Chain A
Amino acid sequence: MLFRLDPSANENLAAQLARQIRSAAARGELAPGTRLPAARELAESLGVNLHTVLKAYQDVRDEGLIELRRGRGAVMTDASRDVRRLREAIDAAVAVARELHVSPTTTLALVKEALQ
């Protein structure tokens, strides 16, 4: 997958990486069992501190998206498939909202209410 870091963005670097891993999982690009690059290698490759990558990996691990195992690195869990399913459901809801010309604000409000 493609990782990219924009130091001039407001979002901090670890958050940028975590977001990209989440959306790659949602797109189906990171199937369960897929191994992410070793944190040290990715940090080296992107020219950032190792702790930035580790922070991103720990964040997505806390969300259950990956498992961190000594020696085996970061492996996508079955939750990545669930995220993809959820993403497809959200896409479907967004398509209906567009079709019915319901505003994003209203749609978001409905989603928030449903989540309560």
Chain B
Amino acid sequence: MTTPTPQLPPVDARPRPAVPYRGRTTLLTLLLPLAIAAATVALPWSWRDELPDPVATHWGTHGVDGFGSYEPQVIVTAAIIAVAAIALWAVGFFAGRQAIIRRTVVGISLWFAGLLSIVVVGGLDIQRGLADAHDTGSLNGILLLSFGVATVLALGGAFLVPGDPAQPSSDPVPPTAARLPLGAGEAASWVQRVSTRGYIALAVGVTAFTVFIGVLTRAWIFGTVFGLVLGAAIASFMRWTVVVDRDGLTVRPGIGRPRIRIPLDEVESASVIDVRPIAEFGGYGVRGGKGGRVGVVVRKGEALQVDRTGGRVFLVTVDDAATGAALLNTLAARTRG
């Protein structure tokens, strides 16, 4: 007679809680961009009697240099918007455990849809009433407008994405997690700065290159605006301040916002890991990795990783991560029991 061996599930097979706010993610990442895609086809269709035939479909450095009928142009644009929206929605729907992932997919989806749609629809709008598409003016104003509107749309959408619901842990911090000797009444604050080596040169270089391309293509206003925005984004998101204190782990970029905070009562445990940015996150910056892991990755190597309640994992590349992890475990343990 044999006794059946009890099958215990492995620790990592604990059921992960469902991804929150799927309805909102679907509305903003999928349905709204699909509506924009539909408008990209419907608006030009409603203008079909006012448009020249053929219409201008391409602008080169010396003005209009491509002509065709408007239908394939708007249908292909709508299809591209739809495919991008579906892909981004899938990421948010299935891996959006952390607000930053949900906000990112909403932002990119709306930005992309807004930009593409306004460029194409705006490019047709300026041709309404023309007898010959050769007379179409410059597209620069439309490019600038599309860039601005898309950015506002993306920021607005991201703003409408709810943050993560509070999920305090009732489990003790595991005794195997590193600790720091700290008196019961003692206050502690660990502050580190981390940046990509040469990030200022990178930001200046990218800005200069974009402006240069803008001048070459006679879209210098658009090139300058785009270059400055890109340079500012690099300069602020390649330099971070990491703090561990009574408020938990706080990570903020050079400009101070947006701030990422993990409160002490949501810390399951903190540890030190080694990160390979390209292999694990596909690059540098604020990134999503496999399984919805979120990382602030500005360089290769040592990182502070936090296992957070709700099946969430966050990490930030930072020097002396061992001290930060030990302090975070110690302060988190104070909040339990």
Bits for A1-41, please: 1 = Cβ < 8 Å to B, else 0: 11111111000000000000000000001000011010001
Are B243 and A45 in touch, CB under 8 angstroms? Answer: yes
Judge if A47 is at the interface, Cβ distance under 8 Å. yes
Residue of B nearest to A47 (CB): B187
Q: Does B142 contact A (CB under 8 A)?
A: no
Most buried by A among B185, B188, B191, B327: B191
Q: Do the beta carbons of B191 and A7 come within 8 Å of each other?
A: no
In chain A, positions 73-101 with a C-beta closer than 8 Å to chain B are none
Of A6, A37, A48, which contacts B191 at CB under 8 A?
A: A37
Using a Cβ–Cβ cut-off of 8 Å, how many residues does chain B contribute to the interface with A? 19
Question: How many inter-chain contacts with C-beta < 8 Å in the A-B complex?
Answer: 51
By a CB distance below 8 angstroms, the chain A residues around B320 are 29
Q: A1 contacts B191, CB within 8 Å?
A: yes
Residues of A within 8 A of B245 (CB): 45-46
Given contacts A45-B243, A46-B245, A47-B246, contact A1 B190 (CB under 8 A): yes
Distance in angstroms between the alpha carbons of A3 and B323 in the assembled complex? 11
The answer to whether A68 has its CB under 8 Å from any CB of chain B is no
Who on chain A is nearest to B190 by CB?
A2
B 171-204 contacts with A by CB, 8 A: 182-183, 185-193
Which residue of A6, A7, A42 contacts B189 across the interface (Cβ within 8 Å)?
A: A42
Interface residues contributed by chain A, number (CB under 8 Å): 18
Contact call B186/A6, Cβ cutoff below 8 A? yes
A-side contacts of B189, CB under 8 Å: 2-4, 37, 42, 45-46
Contact B246 A2 (CB under 8 A): no
- Complex: A35 Cα to B195 Cα, angstroms: 13
Contact of A4 among B182, B193, B241, B247 (CB under 8 A): B182
Does the CB pair A4–B186 fall under 8 Å? yes
**Residues on A with beta carbons closer than 8 Å to the beta carbon of B188:** 2-5, 46
State how many angstroms separate the Cβ of B312 from the closest Cβ of chain A: 24
A2 engages B186 (CB within 8 Å): no
Please report the C-alpha to C-alpha distance between residue A47 and residue B245 in the assembled complex, in whole angstroms.
Answer: 10
By a CB distance below 8 angstroms, the chain A residues around B327 are 2
Evaluate whether A6 and B185 lie within 8 angstroms (CB atoms) in the complex, with A46-B245, A47-B246 already known: yes
- The closest CB in chain A to the CB of B186 belongs to A6
CB distance from A11 to the nearest CB of B (A): 13
- A2 interface neighbour in B183, B241, B323, Cβ under 8 Å: B323
Residue ranges of A at the interface with B (Cβ–Cβ < 8 Å): 1-8, 29, 34-35, 37, 41-42, 45-48
List the 3 shortest-distance A-B pairs measured between CB atoms, nearest first: A45-B189, A4-B188, A45-B245
Residues of B within 8 A of A (CB): 182-183, 185-193, 241, 243, 245-247, 320, 323, 327
27 pairs, CB–CB < 8 Å, chain A vs chain B = A1-B191, A2-B188, A2-B323, A3-B188, A3-B189, A3-B191, A4-B188, A4-B189, A5-B186, A5-B187, A5-B188, A6-B183, A6-B185, A6-B186, A7-B185, A7-B186, A8-B185, A29-B320, A37-B241, A37-B243, A42-B191, A45-B189, A45-B191, A45-B243, A45-B245, A46-B187, A47-B246
Q: A7-B186, A45-B247 are in contact. List 20 more A-B contacts (CB 8 A).
A: A1-B190, A1-B191, A3-B188, A3-B189, A3-B191, A4-B182, A4-B186, A4-B188, A4-B189, A5-B186, A5-B187, A6-B186, A7-B185, A8-B183, A29-B320, A37-B241, A37-B243, A41-B243, A46-B188, A46-B245
